[in-house]
Structure 1
């Protein structure tokens, strides 16, 4: 019996006429309705003609999460007074409850993508509703793009509804316009705010440290659980508490163990039975449901009247260069906070406690980061290739895939034989795309099945497709054994997934596919070695096939080096620490960490590692700069892992030259021998470049190192090791940089002379290592000179020295010094140095480099040609 009393109270009912009109007119629409108004439950039933007066058809509803799929189907069936599997059914990976009479089928977006790729026309389907579009999951964005292509090319009659609970409807309306080019499709707005929610900010005390990576300050968790206790005391009904991850949920459950309520844990990895139990409601006793973002949308948790929101969410980040992912804790965006708040008012007026200050609201992002910007795009790239658009340039997407992430994805797909050199999907790639797992895992399944048998290969791949509970441990072979004998929910899901994967294999699974699935020679060896081996060998082989760049060799004390070049560490106390080789299945690398943390791995031997990662094998001469000198070796490598090496007697001179340049650029110009003459020449050139510019060369460290292969030739080509760099005549090499072609090089001594002749006849060295050229000369040698010497038009800064060669004055204007400054210097020093001349008028006195007595003996004539 249809529960019309409940349906009539859903606010989105008022939007149904507008939605039907939009679909009749344009075939597509955006439905924007607040949380709790019925867009996930009433709208599909109305579109299918199961409620109301409008004729309907078959409706597919795509949800982002399996939990939401089951909950939405169960809720709609309940509203119709039926059981799931009748008029309303659902499909998730490995489970389907639907039949010929099903008019509304709820499924994950991943399942929808599989159907689209198997049969793009979606025969028998009248309308597709993509729910929670605002969450910007990659599968949902991809499904939308494919559906728009289907409407444009194959099924213009296919109705399409994008449902969103937040204010991004205009962007979706513009995107859906791609179907007919007539401008944005209608946005149908559903009014109402459920039953209303009172909001309270409950900011934590001062001193709480910001979340970093997956770390959350324990003091914040204590504050959140204290807020839960406060809510239990003040408010009625069950409490739904949002936390960033399963670790925080477990710790919060421990802190709330003594409350007078059932404390339940709801997250994506919770057993289906537990999820279903939470979503069915309690038996009269109050409940505290600790959850992640999975309960943010599409779910009604019966009995909830209070929401406690930590304000945090956890998002994946991918290091595309290393093929590693990690999770990071971020502030939930404003749209997510609105969604969470709405959970409190689904069934009755509610209350939300937001564990942050009002000022933090301003700093929150409006919407979540689109997953396409941060995710591993390997699966997306394969789907796009199978769809006929390898670059994804023709897909209608709100955000284009980042070029770097797409390049990394195509590299993986090429290596496993899923796409050809032009990025087009191969037959093997099409088969992989239909297996419902990541392309890496599909590759491992296809290539391992002929080696170890379909059941064993599927069993290990099933373990890799859904990370096992942490309590299973980090040794994949032991996890496999535990799953086989286990009776928990994970073991049940694993067995179901194993059966599904076995059924996805071709009837006659051949040998390793193209693109070096296990290496031409190595694959046969690995097959022979693994076929009759135990769990450890099979788990190692399958994992290595899935993640060849993550095979890793020990560096001692639990440290490993992966073929990708990334370091990895096994946890203290792990049985994997003593292994020589590992195939790493799960690892993450926090932003601040030097090495990845191994979460799950299998022991593997070197032969299997080399067979699985054959495309990473290389052998050749390696000449590079290491530990301060040139090292030349013949090396065999598996990616970054060195397998064997021996010294190279006659290395390639070009490689040696490159290694010397590497050393120079790494350690600097100090490797060269800088004589005083060479340093002086460099200072003079730097001065001319600074004052006159081009064509005088820039001789900064950066420019000299950048052009070392030019100005150090031919000496560099004759060098073979570090010591030879110290023998290069740097001054001679620097002269090659002079602008000889323009003729300016010949003017070096004119424009920036190494020495200047002063009135006494001495030739004094000029120092060019400062901002202004400096001439340090004894005061008596400058008598009679009124104009300050200049070089390249720049006045020299004269450091006038006492007879003891100590500075007594600094001037760039000799005439002013003789007129004003000399008198005080003369008064101070003539008594100290009576044997030296101190005339009253130095501007007309005879210059000398000698004492008064010697000057008189020479007839008062200053000598010429002397040196200082």
Structure 2
């Protein structure tokens, strides 16, 4: 009998679809060293591929999972199949929990743990292969680990086997990134799943500006009750977040079933209850953690609320967080597949056929939507700032990387060229967002190591305190906080030297100071005369109704989000702070600036003391710099228009003539449109529009020596046959000459301007000064138009000349009886 537990398992593996592809996977690992396994959920890839790889390569096999709950569950299932406890042949390592031994040959880890190991030692000594599971989820750590492993294989260890596994991965792209990897496709073997559309009643909105509505959660709960009545087996319910898990669980608590919540914040013991079959029928209410990387036994029915949580970042306002979005089609299919693993099942989709037709094919990769600060720091520590030279599935957006770079420079984590500093490497060693790591490292000396660790642990778990009061949340955690917060606090505390900090600082202000160290751009002051706040970033924010923090002058905001259609962000968690502590947390935001701006129709000059975007005080500035005055005046012109200038008739005429020549001849005649003049007018030294000589400024724009021909190309006046000199109107697209018809007798050709390129549009006036005819072709008018005009007007104006032959008749200025 084989003494090797892995050998025994592979000799008689469970009847899972992937067993038929194991030989192909092993051949690819041995021949190429890289392979992509494409298999839908339920095929057994997480269970059987790692043992097969372990049997084929020397050294330990490291298997990644995107979440801690999935890593623990995968290790326990595989150890169970081997008939051993976890920590023997199969172990796991997640943040704060390591269950391995010298005998461990397969170690399941979160992807973040693998990235940190690669950063510490890229050669991964003792590791023979890495199996990346669930890479289709496209978390930032997944993309980063894939790129780093490709770099390691190319430059350090070509013997390191890499297997990428996914339910919906674009296999060709991943294979190319890994260097022409083999692709092994394993077909699924799901039982039929009936699809039942169960949209909410017409008057029930699925979401509003605050997220999923309570009325919709009522509908989800009602759908669960309907599914329990219609179908057999356990029910798996998908909702977007932990709050909705608790909401649905409360609503169905009265049903005669065991209700098991499942999400990442639960203690491991409660998570395990959801992942084990029980003595009674169960309803497991879960976030997306159960979508593809976990096995939930006994499920024959899925109720899908149709939502998921994805990271989104508002770079302009400096706000990032998880938002509720509609589920993608690929995720909906994976969720439905959970009902068909053990037998025929059904999925109840809480949306309409119209909504179903609008589902996007796939969720967006996190690299395109998430805050990239941690990602950018990891790239810098690897030696590839901004990812240059790394094989990433998608290039990170330039704007998001620029924001991340700015944040990291502010933390002192990277230099101007993007390379990691010693402080940056210390920040990266803390298993938390770089901003929280900075708060831990710097906060320990200011508030004490223990308090800093407690607050950072609270922030890293994304705690949303009732009323937004983070201090109250900390006190509640101290009284009866779960093991997750306590263990995280202990881990963080161990990373910093012992320090007592300022013992006189109250918990309220200590929490605020740590939050301010993490998010200096979210320090906020109450707006004068109102209840809302202005953050140092310039973003407005408001507390939720009934918050105990209302009325405090200063807040350090830990979490805020801004929904569609809302002017101000909603503060989800914050703590009190004062200006002195805020200045200690973010001294770079304090400064005095000379502000010269256009306000209320005039230039206002002030010396302003600011804390970021928050104005602390101001005083009049008696002698403002000329350049700032010019900029302010230009702003005024841009806002209110060039009508602020004093336009004389001569200036208006000159501008119109210059505009005509620019349109007709182009260069060198300048553009004098509003936008062009705003850019070209020299306002230096000007303190009042009333004193600004527009005519002289326009003359300064005339091109020399071409300007010497201005009067030839666009004359102010034109002589007419009567001897009069008539002004030309350049205000329209074509120059207009308005002249009495009698003064043009004998004029055979239409005058032309701009070197003969543009004919003048003649407005031929009646003796009363009204237009009798409009023409740009005088010769044609005398021949065809004049006879009709003469017939209409000679009776009305008998004292004026109306000759039959205008070609030969003398021009007349005033009244002259016809002969």
TM-score of the superposition, structure 1-length normalised? Answer: 0.86
Helix, strand or coil at the partner of 1:8? coil
Query: 1:28: which partner in 2?
Result: 34
The whole-number CA distance in structure 2 between the counterparts of 1:464 and 1:232 is 38
Find out whether 1:614 has 2:587 as its counterpart.
yes
Q: Which residue of 2 aligns with 1:42?
A: 48
Give, in whole Å, the separation in 2 of the partners of 1:196 and 1:290. 22
Residue 10 in structure 1 maps to residue 10 in structure 2 = no
Cα distance in structure 1, aligned partners of 2:247 and 2:789 = 80
Question: 2:414 is matched with which residue: 415, 419, 437?
Answer: 419
In 1: Cα distance, 2:549 partner to 2:12 partner: 56
> Which digits, 9 at most, give the CA deviation of each residue in 1:637-688, with x for residues without a partner?
2222222322222222222223223333333322211222222221211111
Residue 772 (structure 1) shift? 1.6
1:549 has 2:516 as partner: no
Alignment of 1:814-825 (within 5 A): 814-825=778-789
Deviation at 1:613, TM superposition (A): 0.4
Residue 195 to residue 56, structure 1, CA distance change in 2 (3 Å): farther
What's 1:519 paired with?
Answer: none
Name the counterpart of 1:434: 429
Q: Which residue of 1 aligns with 2:476?
A: 482
Question: CA, structure 1 residues 706+592, in 2 after alignment: closer, same or farther (shift >3 Å)?
Answer: farther
Among 313, 321, 324, the residue aligned to 2:308: 313
Give 2:505's match in structure 1, choosing from 519, 522, 533: 533
* Correspondent of 1:500 among 491, 499, 523: 491
Q: Pairwise mapping of residues 824-863 of structure 1 onto structure 2 (< 5 A)? A: 824-852=788-816
Shift, 1:466, TM fit: 1.0
| Partners of 2:713 and 2:753 within 8 A in 1 | yes
State the 1:355 CA deviation.
5.3
State the 1:436 CA deviation: 0.6
Q: TM-score, normalised by structure 2?
A: 0.91
Superposed CA offset, 1:700-747 (max 9, x none): 111111222xxx3xxx23312xxx21332212211222221xx32111
Distance 1:577 1:255 in 2: 32
Could you tell me how far 1:62 is from its partner in structure 2? 0.9
1:206 deviates by: 8.1
- 8 Å CA contact retained: 1:830, 1:836: yes
In 2, the alpha carbon distance for the partners of 1:576 and 1:96 equals 40
Q: How far apart, in 2, do the equivalents of 1:717 and 1:121 lie? A: 62
Structure 1 residues 697-706 or 782-791, which shifts more? 782-791
Residues 348-378 of structure 1 show CA distances to partners (whole Å, capped at 9, x for unaligned) of 2323345567787776554432212222222
**1:533 Cα offset (Å):** 1.6
Aligned to 1:585, which of 558, 577, 580?
558
C-alpha separation in 1, matches of 2:57 and 2:509: 59
CA distance in 2, matches of 1:755, 1:449: 82
Residues 667-682 of structure 1 correspond to what in structure 2 (within 5 A)?
Answer: 667-682=640-655
1:181 maps to which residue?
Answer: none
Query: Residue 430 of structure 1: SS of its match in structure 2?
Result: helix
C-alpha spacing 1:567/1:445, structure 2 compared with 1 (3 Å): same
Query: Are the equivalent residues in 2 in contact too, given 1:7–1:79 (CA < 8 A)?
Result: no
Residues 525 and 553 in structure 2, CA contact (< 8 A), matched pair in contact too: yes
| Cα contact 1:59–1:128 (8 A) shared by 2 | yes
- Alignment pair present for 1:599 and 2:594: no
CA 1:673/1:99 → structure 2, altered by over 3 Å: closer, same or farther? Answer: same
Aligned partners of 1:47 and 1:57 also within 8 Å: no
Which whole-Å deviations, capped at 9, do the CAs of 1:328-363 have from their partners, x for residues lacking one? 444433432332232122222323345567787776
Give the equivalent residue in structure 2 for 1:458.
453
Question: What is the aligned residue count?
Answer: 810
Q: Which residue of 1 aligns with 2:344?
A: 349
Shift of 1:13: 0.6
**Alignment partners' CA distance in 2, 1:93 and 1:41:** 22
How far has the Cα of 1:205 moved from its partner? 8.1
1:806-827 alpha-carbon deviations (Å, 9 max, x no partner): 2232222233333333333333
Q: In the alignment, is the contact (CA less than 8 A) between 2:749 and 2:778 conserved in 1?
A: yes
Partner of 1:726: helix, strand, or coil? helix
Pick the aligned partner of 2:288 from 263, 274, 293. Answer: 293
CA contact (8 A) 1:212 1:329 kept: no
Render the CA deviation track for 1:428-468: whole Å, top value 9, x for unaligned.
32222122111111111111212222111111111111111
RMSD: 3.0
Q: Which residue among 57, 64, 67 is the counterpart of 1:65?
A: 67
8 Å CA contact retained: 1:3, 1:81: no
Q: Please report how far the alpha carbon of residue 170 of structure 1 lies from its aligned counterpart in structure 2 after TM superposition.
A: 1.3
**What is the CA-CA distance between 1:579 and the residue it aligns to?**
1.3
Residues 773-793 of structure 1, C-alpha deviations (whole Å, 9 max, x = no match)? 222222222233232232223
SS in 1 for 2:388: coil
Aligned residues of 2:260 and 2:282 also touching (Cα < 8 A)? no
By how many angstroms is 1:484 displaced? 0.8
- The residue matched to 1:240 in structure 2 has which SS? strand
Shift of 1:63: 0.7
The residue number in structure 2 matching 1:783 is 745
On the 8 A contact 1:11/1:192 being kept in 2, the answer is yes
Would the alpha carbon gap of residues 313 and 852 (structure 1) be closer, same or farther in structure 2, given more than 3 Å must change? same
Instruction: Give the conservation status (yes or no) of the 8 Å contact 2:10–2:52.
Output: no
After superposition, the Cα gap between the structure-2 partners of 1:572 and 1:213, relative to the gap in structure 1 and judged at 3 Å, is closer
Residue 242 of structure 1 corresponds to which residue in structure 2? Answer: 238
Mean alpha-carbon deviation: is it higher for 129-138 or for 230-239?
230-239
Q: Call closer, same or farther: CA 1:592–1:624 in 2, change over 3 Å.
A: same
